[in-house]
Amino acid sequence: MDALELRKLKSMIEHRMEQLQGEIAEAKSFTSKKLEQDDDPSADLDLTISSSVDEKVLADHKSELKRLSRNLLWLDSDDAGLCRVCDCEIPVNRLLAVPDTQVCISCAD
């Protein structure tokens, strides 16, 4: 991976992190707005369903965000772009496609 590819990858990760942070903030405000609804039984049912979905999405977003910020640090380290399992160099196209991974395709299987 050359300097240009590294820069491209890092800016992609930063962009994705901003997007996730925005979605997390939105999901949170959506959930708290829902909680303020009155006691219409059908609204409660909607709330139960959608809040469990929101929580799942929120948890997924948060763990992706954690992996992305970990990878930003990783890309600045001496092990940047090296598979954590077999130590081979991960092709930059794989990192661009799956920016939150630290393993090559063969090790991911």
Nearest approach, Cβ of 3 to Zn ion (angstroms)? 23
Q: Is 45 in the site for Zn ion (CB under 5 A)?
A: no
Q: Is 98 in the site for Zn ion (CB under 5 A)?
A: no
**Alpha-carbon distances of 66 from 14, 20, 47, 59, 60, rounded to whole Å:** 12, 10, 28, 11, 10
Nearest approach, Cβ of 75 to Zn ion (angstroms)? 17
Backbone φ and ψ of 104, nearest 5°: -75, 170
Q: Is 59 in the site for Zn ion (CB under 5 A)?
A: no
The footprint of Zn ion on this chain (CB under 5 A) covers a number of residues equal to 5
Nearest approach, Cβ of 7 to Zn ion (angstroms)? 24
Site for Zn ion in 76-95 (CB under 5 A): 83, 85-86
DSSP reduced 3-state for 89: strand
Here the tokens at position 25 are 């903030």
Q: Is 107 in the site for Zn ion (CB under 5 A)?
A: yes
